[in-house]
């Protein structure tokens, strides 16, 4: 890690964001949670060069090669009611997508927490809540060129898509700048957030399989509703899904 480049970039973060760099942690989300419980203020960003136990949704391991990717977590103490906090995943996904767009790419958002380039995942979001705070974890493949066999067909990076390396510090700055605006739209301005996500949704108009608490379902996606819910059409009718354990695109 070019520590100096991250420190220099962080000096230009919008308020109240500030950066804390760790060489090695088990999980940036866990590190941020511990600091939140100790009283850390809103806007603290924990960035790690190496995660020894990074994770995605449902406890899945997150591949984060040292020096090639961004792995960081943002401590948020939202003013909005706690019922709105899950929307932070959408806000973070949109912030990542918008930052990537500024590099000349055309990312899509896979509801609720992944960012895709083409049909491959480039970033994942994991939001975890405490009593009076939320942790927004973000993993982004920046300069990764090789992935493990189990994800090589479904993962990509900015470097692979643009055929050139990128400054991780600059990419981080772009994400934080976008998130500084989008995080405040989970309440009264949520329609603005949803509108920006709708035309980037990679699921709309496609058939999918869902893993839910009631089992596997198949159907088609009609879009995203006003509360950020996924509009899922199955033989049983239209369902409005607030969450699903797994959403997979089916062959057309």
Residues 106 and 78: their CA atoms lie apart, in Å, by 30
Residues 95 and 205: their CA atoms lie apart, in Å, by 23
Residues 65 and 124: their CA atoms lie apart, in Å, by 15
Residues 211 and 193 grouped into a single domain: no
Q: pLDDT confidence of 242, banded at 50, 70, 90?
A: confident
For position 246, what pLDDT does the model report?
85
Residues 10 and 80 grouped into a single domain: yes
Q: What is the mean pLDDT of residues 225-249?
A: 92
Residues 18 and 92 grouped into a single domain: yes
Residues 138 and 243 grouped into a single domain: no
Residues 240 and 162 grouped into a single domain: no
Q: What tens digit of pLDDT does each residue of 132-190 get?
A: 999 999 999 999 998 888 888 999 999 999 999 999 999 999 999 999 999 999 999 99
Query: With 90 as the cut, is the pLDDT of residue 51 above it?
Result: no
Strands (E) in 130-201, as ranges, are 134-141
Residues 177 and 72: their CA atoms lie apart, in Å, by 15
Residues 148 and 227 grouped into a single domain: no
Residues 116 and 28 grouped into a single domain: yes
Query: With 80 as the cut, is the pLDDT of residue 55 above it?
Result: no
Residue 188: which CATH number?
A: 3.30.930.10
Residue where a domain terminates, one of 198, 221, 236: 198
Q: What tens digit of pLDDT does each residue of 179-231 get?
A: 999 999 999 999 999 999 999 999 999 999 998 777 899 999 999 999 999 99
- Return the exposure string of 121-148: e unless at least 16 CB atoms fall within 10 Å of the residue's CB, then b: bbbbbbbbeeeebbbbbbbbbbbbeebe
The pTM assigned to this predicted structure is 0.93
Residues 6 and 23: their CA atoms lie apart, in Å, by 13
For position 50, what pLDDT does the model report?
85
Residues 120 and 227 grouped into a single domain: no
For position 64, what pLDDT does the model report?
63
Residues 208 and 206: their CA atoms lie apart, in Å, by 6
Residue 125 phi, psi dihedral angles, 5° rounding:
-120, 140
Residues 131 and 223 grouped into a single domain: no
For position 243, what pLDDT does the model report?
82
Q: pLDDT confidence of 65, banded at 50, 70, 90?
A: low
Q: What tens digit of pLDDT does each residue of 80-138 get?
A: 999 999 999 999 999 999 999 999 999 999 998 899 999 999 999 999 999 999 999 99
Structural domain of 121: 3-198
Residues 123 and 160 grouped into a single domain: yes
Q: pLDDT confidence of 68, banded at 50, 70, 90?
A: confident
Contact yes or no for 197/110 (Cβ under 8 A)? no
Residues 154 and 211 grouped into a single domain: no
Beta-bridged to residue 121, according to DSSP, are 116, 155
For position 152, what pLDDT does the model report?
83
Residues 39 and 95 grouped into a single domain: yes
- Total domain count for the chain? 2
Ranges of H-type helices in 11-87: 28-37
For position 150, what pLDDT does the model report?
86
Residue 213: which CATH number?
A: 2.30.30.100
Enter the tokens of residue 232.
Answer: 């899922």
Q: Please indicate whether residue 51 or residue 208 has the higher confidence score (pLDDT).
A: 208
Query: What is the rounded (10 degree) CA torsion for 157, 139, 193, 229?
Result: 100
């Amino acid at each position: 890690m070019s520590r100096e480049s991250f420190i220099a970039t962080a000096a230009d973060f919008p308020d109240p964001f500030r950066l804390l760099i760790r060489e090695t942690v088990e999980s940036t989300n866990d590190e941020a949670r511990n600091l939140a419980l100790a009283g850390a203020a809103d806007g603290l960003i924990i960035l790690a060069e190496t995660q020894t136990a990074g994770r995605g949704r449902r406890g899945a391991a997150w591949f984060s090669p040292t020096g090639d990717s961004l792995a960081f977590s943002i401590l948020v103490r939202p003013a909005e009611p706690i019922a709105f906090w899950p929307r932070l995943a959408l806000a973070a996904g949109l912030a990542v997508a918008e930052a990537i767009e500024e590099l000349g790419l055309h990312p899509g958002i896979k509801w609720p927490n992944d960012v895709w380039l083409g049909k491959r995942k480039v970033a994942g979001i994991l939001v975890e809540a405490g009593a009076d705070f939320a942790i927004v974890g973000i993993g982004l493949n920046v300069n990764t060129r090789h992935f493990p066999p189990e994800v090589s067909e479904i993962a990509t990076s900015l470097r692979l898509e643009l055929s050139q390396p990128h400054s991780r510090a600059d990419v981080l700055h772009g994400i934080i700048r976008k998130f500084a605006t989008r995080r405040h739209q989970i309440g009264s301005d949520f329609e603005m957030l949803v509108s920006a996500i709708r035309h980037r949704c990679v699921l709309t108009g496609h058939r999918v399989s869902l893993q839910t608490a009631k089992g596997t379902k198949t159907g088609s996606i009609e879009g995203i509703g006003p509360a950020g819910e996924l509009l899922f059409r199955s033989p049983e009718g239209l369902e409005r899904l607030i969450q699903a354990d797994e959403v997979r695109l089916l062959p057309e």
